[in-house]
Each structure stands twice: as C-alpha cells, then as structure tokens.
Amino acid sequence: MTLLDDSFPESLASAPITTDSVEPPPMTGELERDPGMPASTWRLRSDAWEYLRFGVKRIALGNDDESALTGDGEIARNLRALETIEMYWAGFGQRYVRDISELLRKGDYQNALDRIGRVVQRLRNSTVPDEPHNDLIDEIERLEITDDCDPRPRFEVLVIDETTAGDRDSMRAENMRLRSAADQFIYDFVVVPSADDAIAALLTNPNILACIIRPGFSGRTTQALSRDLRDTITLAWESAGVETAPASSSLSSVQRVVRLADVLHTLRPEIDLYLMAGANIEDLAGALSRRFRRVFRREDQLELHLSLLRRVSHLYDTPFFAAIQDHARRPVGVFHALPVARGGSVVGSKWITDLADFYGLNLLLAETSATSGGLDSLLAPVHTLKKAQELAARAFGAKHTFFVTNGTSTANKVVHQALVSPNDVVLVDRNCHKSHHHAMMLTGARPAYLDAYPLNDYAFYGAVPLSDVKQMLLDYRAAGRLDEVRMVTLTNCTFDGIVYDPERVMAECLAIKPDLVFLWDEAWFAFAAFHPVTRRRTAMAAAKHLEATLKTSSHHLAYTEQQKRLFAEDGTPAPDEVWLSERLIPSPDARIRVYATQSTHKTLTSLRQGSMIHVYDQDWVRDAREPFHEAYMTHTSTSPNYQILTSLDLGRRQVELEGYELVQRQLDLATSLTQAIARHPILRRFFRVVDAYDLIPEPLRGIGGKMPLRQGLSDMWRAWREDEFVVDPSRITVEITKTGVDGDTFKHDYLMDRFGIQVNKTSRNTVLFMTNIGTSRSGIAYLIEVLVKLSERFEELSEELDPNMPLPGEVPMPPLPDFSAFSSEYSTDGIRPDGDLRAAFFQGQQRGAVEYVSQAELSRRVAEGERPVSAGFVTPYPPGFPVLVPGQVISREVLDFMSVLDTREIHGYDAVRGYRVLKP
C-alpha cells in the first residue's frame, strides 16, 4: 500500500487550510479513503514535502524517535506518495525521494532534513541565491538550483516512452544544450513509460503544455495509484471512446498511438501533441497529421525544440495587448476626441492628477479613440482584435468568438436580436437574467416562459427539467405552431450553481424540432471550459460533441430504430408519454446552432463588463452572420473600452496556459471550505452547506451523491457525465437559519461591515460563497476564521433569544410564484403560454394607459375575480427574477409572495404608489 492508496490522512488530503504552511495540520489519525489524487494534487505535493520536513525535523531534534520511520508511519507514507507524485513532475523527481529515503535509512537525519528543506524552498520558489555554493550540494543539484533561478516562464513537456535512467539523463542534457539565451521560455521533460501514466500526468500536473509520444510506450501503469486516480484514468479512456488502455499487442502501433492521442486530446485539448517516429515516419505523417502538430524523427531535436517553444509563444501571444503597449510607447500627437489620451487633460491639471497617481500613467498613455496604428476597430476588426477574437475562439472551443465590452447583459441582447424576429416564439426560463426579458421586449419575440423547479426552502429557483422543455415543444407541435418556435434559451449554470447537461437538452429538443437555435447563458460558467470534467457541460463542447455524434453510423442506426417507436406507419406521432419517456435521438440532419454568452469578468481574468459571445453554428454563413453583425453594431459602442478588450485578450492567454491549474485549484479549495464547515464543531451548529440533494429534487437526481467531488474526481466525473443536473462545487450555498439573522443582514452587517468579506447573493436563509480562480488558501482560511468568530457571537446572541419565537429564516414563506399567464389581450392564442411582451411594454409607456395600485387594493381586486395586468417588469433583489413582466396577469400567488418580501431593492415597484397596472 502506498500513500496514494486508501490510507492517506484526511488532514493532508483535504483540509490543510492554514495560512502558515510551515507547520502541517495536526494529524488526526482519521483516514480518508482517497488521498486527493488527482483532485487536489496541486497542494498534495507541497503538503507531502512539508509534512516530511516536519516529521524528519522532529527526529533530527530528538522529539521523535526512529519508530516514526516505520513502514506504516506518516514519514514513510509521504515518501511513497512522493515517489509516485514526483514521477509526474519534472525537476526533483523520484531520485530525490530515493536519496532522502537512503539518508533516513542510514540515520543521517540532518542531511535528509537539509535536502528536504531545499526541496520545500524550491517548491515555494524561494531558493536563496547563494545556495549553489553550499558545500553539501552535489553538482546535479547545484545545476538545478541555478536553473531554478532562471526568470523565464517555465513549462513542462511530457514524453511518453519506455526509457532507461540513462535515456532520461541524456534527454535532459540535450534539452540544456539546446536552450539559448534568446528563448522566451524554458521547459523541462516529464518522462513516463505508459499510456496510463501519461493520463495520470496530464491530470495531476497542470504545468504540462505539450506531449511527445514515442511509439515505445506501454499500456498500463505499474504505479500503485489511488482508487480515485485509477478510476479517473478509466473514465478518461472511456470519454475518448476507448474502453481501457491499449495494453494488448494485438493493436498496431498506429492504433495505439491514435488512441492515446485521442484520450490526451479529450482530456486537455489545449495541449499540443507531437509524434516522434522511426522508420515509417512518412506513412505515419499521412495517417496521423490531424491529431499531431508535427511528426519528427529522433534526430530532429532542434526542430522539436523550436516547435515546442513556438507553440507556447502562440498561446502566449496577445495581439491586442501588444498593440496597446506599442501604442503607449509611441510618441503620438493627439488630434482626436478623448482629452485624457496620453494623459492630456490629467497630467497638467491642478486638480485631478491623483487619477494618474492612482491608476498609473499607462492607463492614459494607452488611451486613444483612434483605431489606426494597429489598434483595430471592434466593429470591423481586421487585424489585432480579429486575431485576439480568433484566439479566444480556439481557447473556448468555438467557431467564432466576439468580445463584448458591456457585459453579458449586452451579449444576450446581441444574440437575441441576431437570431429571432418579431413574433418568433422563444422558450425561456422565466427565472433567467433580465437581459433576456429586455431582449424580447426589443425584438418583439414572444416568450413562452418555462418554470424552473422552485426551492421553496431557500427561496430561490433551481433549473428547468428537460421533460418540461420537451413537453412544451410537444404542446406547440400539437397546436400546429411548432414552426413558430425558434429558440430555446437557458442559464447554465444558474447563479446558485445548478448545471444542465446541454448536449442532452439540445439533442432531445432537436429530435422534436431539428432547426432550433440554442442560446446558453453561461454568464457564470466561462471557467468550465478549462477542466475536463466541467468542460463537457459547456455549450461549445456539447455542440462539438453532438456534431461529431450525429455523423456516426451508430447514431444513424439508433435514430432509425427510435423513429419506429415514435411514429406510427402513417406518420402519426406516438403519445407524448412515449416521447417523454424515451431519450430522444435527433435526426442526423439536425442543425447544430449554438450560442453561448459568458461574463468573462465573473469567473476569469477580465475587467468588469468584459464578456464574450461564442458561436458554434452550422448555418452561420447562410443564416446568421449578417444579422449577427447588424445586432452587434446595434449594441456595441463606437468607443469600446480598450482596457476591457486588453483584459479579455490576457484572460484568454491565461486560461490557455494555466486554466486547468486554476480551475482545479478553485474546485478543490471550494471542497475544502465545505468540508471545514461540515466538520468544525461550532460552524456546524450555525451553518449548513446546501448539497446536491437539497438543490436537485429526488426525481431529477442521478447517480451523483450529495457532494461528488468530496468522494473524488472520478465520482464527480461520473455524475457530470450521467446526471440531468449537477451542482458546480465551486459555489457554496450555506444555510444560515440557526444564526438568527436573515441573508441580507448577514451579508451587509456581519460579513461586509465587520470583516470586509464580500458575497454576491443571499436569500432569506442562505448565503452564497463563490470561489473563483483568484481564490487562495489564505482567503479560505480567513473566511473560516471569520465564520468561527461569528459563530461565537451567534452563540452569545442565541442565549438572549426568546425560544418561543421562530428565527427569521424559520418563518414560513409563501411558495415562489410560477409565471401566471399573459392576459388575453397579449396572449397569442389563449392556450399556449407565449405572449406579446413588447406590445404590453409599450402600452405601459403610455401615460394615460397606466394606473398605480397599492398591494392592498390589488389583493382586493384579485379576490373579487379581477385579472389585473402588469404594465412593467417587477424584479425584487434577491431573488433577482421578474415576478411580473409586462402583460402578465397579477395573480394572488405573486401578491402573497411580494407581501412578505423584505428585500431592499425591488425594481419596477414603487413603495409609495404601488404597482404599475395597465388600465382595462
């Protein structure tokens, strides 16, 4: 058994959230089934080294005796873990671990400790510069430490081949020889013998940016890996359509190489693959070129070296940022608008120079309203912005990407306007962001509102079950109006982290109407493209996969078979129950028309309002390009903000080079936070993490447990592959009923005012903590510390509470109101749910057509059987969805809900005069 097996101490594997990482967390003796490989390898490695230092130091100082070195002790287990972990990382390697084991075996604790200490320092990038002169350091280590000090960005290259230690040494020597002072980056090799190890390396080591496959690799790993890592490797093979590692010699070497290339590409598509071949290189080049960037012969080391560097320089390239920097350095005379350009109106001012002091002069030097000199125009990009958007399309797996400098609010309006016309029906979650409702008001499309399932215990909504979407399409078909339905738009993931399976949703909807367009509002989901588990639930990955699936003969066959069950011989459709119970298979001729809007600024590096629209549309040129262009022109400023555009360009560079690392860390840190809340005795008394069972009603649940990532990455992987809904682990909804304060008070009075902690969303009895790619271990540690302090305070306060009075979060709330209906004047046919929101909205703008009516008066009218009609949108924050839209009948349910709402902000409702109601 190794440390990577089922015996790793939980405190190392899952909750080492300490701000000071010198002292390891106390060992509880409690064991977790899995050691956090691969989900938390990023910290497992440094934690294991740090623990080793702690343990060996205790022996060296005489605080522990040699019994601490026994085979099942922490020290030995850490060493065994590191032997495997280090195999997947360049640099220190297993050699160090073996040397240290040897020193410990000989009882040379001080030297072992020194060596471990140097490793820890190197891992922290804090090598002291004069260390290379230390007499105890051997020549190899001295060279390595000198090399560590090279300031150039460093990446790792995975080589997959059976090798000897001698081979590996000569590869490294050759790499050093080829390095030149002119190289922009440097790289090191990670060498693994088998296909399984290659997958393990890609999963655990995010520094790897390129792979070289040499046909001599074997299939299965001989390492003792954790259950989770082994299962994840199997899942990785399956996800590429391959059962297991190609161990058998029955496969030709081309097949083995192809399979491995496919699985590595599915796992981390940003990674470039190279093939190093022997005699039959010409044949291979023809057969394999689509999968590999290049095929090399072994002697072409220099070419390979240059290709590796060149490829990374392509990822690093930020064309718009480069143009902005160039502009800032040029002496330019300003004879256009924008007085702040080059600091003009600021640096000479008596009163506002603090603007430049605060933000730095570069902000102004880079400002211009000109699009000449390489800066390009966002409205008609031809060079740097065009290139930057093409690179973003590559990164996010889109066919086309467009930058938006006014948030996803605008991105949504662009897409709606581009794709729908007046009177088209759009199926949309009523609980969606208001920009969709506004877009429909602008375009004149008729929304058919879908109701997400309510989570009444927490006063927010879940998501729309697929069966409801299908039923609505079937209803339109039965009414002979299916041709009017143009688009389906859903929010993935929801604010609270509920994630759809977009491929399944699209496939089943296309089976009913094969030319539907989909708009996925991924305002909160841009990060998901950079992790193999979350990626498959992004719209772009789903579109690509669906497109490929439709082309396969097995799909064709399955479709033909299913059609026999769905239609009688005379073409009559089977009853709806059959259509609802089957997992519908779309026609191979269905069109893939998918759009995603992302607030890059919400989850990735970008200044506020930086958003992107990603397009995967087979009918783009024929049907969408021109209207999209017009819509983009309509909503895009002629003075787009250059800083936002620059940050989008850089945000793209970041995700291509380190997106996997950042997302892996974000998911893992979030899991640590949930564990800390769940396990801490005082936190458990006041806070409860809302899990997938709370957020997904029983009939919609699948195989995933309450928090799959807590069990391991493979559990999460399976749930994300199979289940209709899953929960994004990086969002943590915490129920706070027992604190005795409501969500809004908790957010403002406790978290923000006392401790400067910002959270975005609360409900009556919940607070949503979001982790993101900028979240650090110290940040999580601080939050936990604050929650503990608050719990102590709540404990004091609870003694003063009247036990007979319910706490604010316990007061029963009326259920969240469903969409009632459009009134008969605005409903299209009085049967189907769509209506003319636009006509109602503009009617509501006529002064004489509207009256203000108080809540009490409206309640009276409704009780007497009237059906008052809302003149506008009424949107309380939280929960943040419009409880009323123009033309909607004001129902008793809406009034009941509003009567107990105590939120500070209700847009569209006048607290003094009441609701705006259309006069009959």
424, HSE (Cβ side, Cα atoms, 13 Å): 21
Q: Minimum CB separation from ligand PLP for residue 307, in Å?
A: 38
Which amino acid appears at position 764 of this protein?
R
By beta-carbon proximity to ligand PLP, the closer residue of 435 and 820 is 435
By beta-carbon proximity to ligand PLP, the closer residue of 122 and 433 is 433
Q: Minimum CB separation from ligand PLP for residue 627, in Å?
A: 21
By beta-carbon proximity to ligand PLP, the closer residue of 276 and 411 is 411
Q: Minimum CB separation from ligand PLP for residue 609, in Å?
A: 6
User: Would you say 527 and 603 are in contact if contact means Cβ atoms under 8 Å apart?
Assistant: yes
| Residues between 609 and 668 with contacts to ligand PLP, criterion CB under 6 A | 611
- Fill in the per-residue mask, 388 to 427: x = in contact with ligand PLP (CB under 6 A), - = not in contact: -------------------xxx------------------
CB atoms within 10 A of CB 494: 28
User: Would you say 560 and 455 are in contact if contact means Cβ atoms under 8 Å apart?
Assistant: no
By beta-carbon proximity to ligand PLP, the closer residue of 96 and 527 is 527
| Residues between 453 and 512 with contacts to ligand PLP, criterion CB under 6 A | 491, 495
Q: Minimum CB separation from ligand PLP for residue 652, in Å?
A: 17
State the helix-helix crossing angle for 502-512 and 539-550, rounded to 10 degrees.
Answer: 50
Contacts of 414 (CB under 8 A, 6+ apart): 402, 404, 613, 628, 631, 632, 634, 635, 636
Q: Minimum CB separation from ligand PLP for residue 400, in Å?
A: 19
By beta-carbon proximity to ligand PLP, the closer residue of 437 and 470 is 437
Q: Minimum CB separation from ligand PLP for residue 701, in Å?
A: 23
> Can you tell me whether residue 869 is helix, strand or coil?
strand
Q: Minimum CB separation from ligand PLP for residue 650, in Å?
A: 18
User: Beta strand 761-762 with 766-770: parallel, antiparallel or unpaired?
Assistant: antiparallel
| Residues between 548 and 607 with contacts to ligand PLP, criterion CB under 6 A | 599
Cis bond upstream, residue 493 (ω within 30): yes
User: Beta strand 208-213 with 272-277: parallel, antiparallel or unpaired?
Assistant: parallel
Could you tell me the CA-to-CA distances from 492 to 497, 766, 775 in Å, in that order?
8, 21, 22
CB atoms within 10 A of CB 419: 25
By beta-carbon proximity to ligand PLP, the closer residue of 635 and 738 is 635
By beta-carbon proximity to ligand PLP, the closer residue of 275 and 655 is 655
By beta-carbon proximity to ligand PLP, the closer residue of 371 and 599 is 599
By beta-carbon proximity to ligand PLP, the closer residue of 655 and 853 is 655
| Residues between 176 and 195 with contacts to ligand PLP, criterion CB under 6 A | none
Here the tokens at position 713 are 């990455």
Q: Minimum CB separation from ligand PLP for residue 757, in Å?
A: 19
| Residues between 193 and 252 with contacts to ligand PLP, criterion CB under 6 A | none
Handedness of CA 287, 291, 292, 293 (dihedral sign): positive
Cα gap 66→455, rounded to integer Å:
57
By beta-carbon proximity to ligand PLP, the closer residue of 230 and 747 is 747
Cα gap 389→381, rounded to integer Å:
9
Cα gap 592→550, rounded to integer Å:
10
Closest listed residue to residue 467, CA positions, set 512, 498, 433? 512
Q: Minimum CB separation from ligand PLP for residue 523, in Å?
A: 3
Q: Kindly tell me the burial class for residue 623, based on how many C-beta atoms sit within 10 Å of its own C-beta (0-12, 13-18, 19 or more).
A: middle
By beta-carbon proximity to ligand PLP, the closer residue of 225 and 770 is 770
| Residues between 277 and 336 with contacts to ligand PLP, criterion CB under 6 A | none
Query: To 5 degrees, how large is the angle CA 291–CA 295–CA 299?
Result: 155
Residue-by-residue DSSP string for 646-661: HHHHHHHHHHHHHHHH
Our finding on whether 172 is near ligand PLP (CB under 6 A) is: no
By beta-carbon proximity to ligand PLP, the closer residue of 526 and 894 is 526
CB atoms within 10 A of CB 574: 14
Question: How far, in whole angstroms, is CA 482 from its chain's centroid?
Answer: 34
Q: Minimum CB separation from ligand PLP for residue 893, in Å?
A: 24
Could you tell me the CA-to-CA distances from 301 to 43, 162, 239, 811 in Å, in that order?
34, 18, 33, 71
- Gap between the terminal Cα atoms of the chain: 78
By beta-carbon proximity to ligand PLP, the closer residue of 80 and 433 is 433
Here the tokens at position 683 are 């936190």
Q: Minimum CB separation from ligand PLP for residue 388, in Å?
A: 19
Enclosing H/E stretch for 208:
strand 208-213
Contacts of 130 (CB under 8 A, 6+ apart): none
Tally helices (H) and strands (E) across the chain: 38, 25
748: which DSSP letter?
I
| Residues between 667 and 696 with contacts to ligand PLP, criterion CB under 6 A | none
Q: Kindly tell me the burial class for residue 26, based on how many C-beta atoms sit within 10 Å of its own C-beta (0-12, 13-18, 19 or more).
A: exposed
Q: Minimum CB separation from ligand PLP for residue 737, in Å?
A: 25
By beta-carbon proximity to ligand PLP, the closer residue of 401 and 611 is 611
Q: Minimum CB separation from ligand PLP for residue 432, in Å?
A: 7
Interface residue with ligand PLP, options 53, 256, 342, 433 (CB under 6 A): 433
| Residues between 600 and 619 with contacts to ligand PLP, criterion CB under 6 A | 611
Q: Minimum CB separation from ligand PLP for residue 643, in Å?
A: 16
Residue-by-residue DSSP string for 566-609: HB-TTSPBPPHHHHHHS-----TT---EEEEEE-HHHHSS--TT
Contacts of 675 (CB under 8 A, 6+ apart): 14, 15, 710
By beta-carbon proximity to ligand PLP, the closer residue of 609 and 820 is 609
Q: Minimum CB separation from ligand PLP for residue 599, in Å?
A: 3
| Residue nearest ligand PLP, CB atom distance | 407
By beta-carbon proximity to ligand PLP, the closer residue of 523 and 884 is 523
Interface residue with ligand PLP, options 239, 435, 771, 775 (CB under 6 A): 435
Q: Minimum CB separation from ligand PLP for residue 770, in Å?
A: 12
> Can you tell me whether residue 752 is helix, strand or coil?
helix
- Fill in the per-residue mask, 509 to 528: x = in contact with ligand PLP (CB under 6 A), - = not in contact: ------------x-x-----
How many residues appear in the chain? 920
Q: Minimum CB separation from ligand PLP for residue 408, in Å?
A: 3
By beta-carbon proximity to ligand PLP, the closer residue of 408 and 843 is 408
Here the tokens at position 281 are 């290189």
Q: Minimum CB separation from ligand PLP for residue 633, in Å?
A: 19
By CB under 6 A, how many residues form the interface with ligand PLP? 11
By beta-carbon proximity to ligand PLP, the closer residue of 346 and 645 is 645
Q: Which residues bind ligand PLP (CB under 6 A)?
A: 407-409, 433, 435, 491, 495, 521, 523, 599, 611
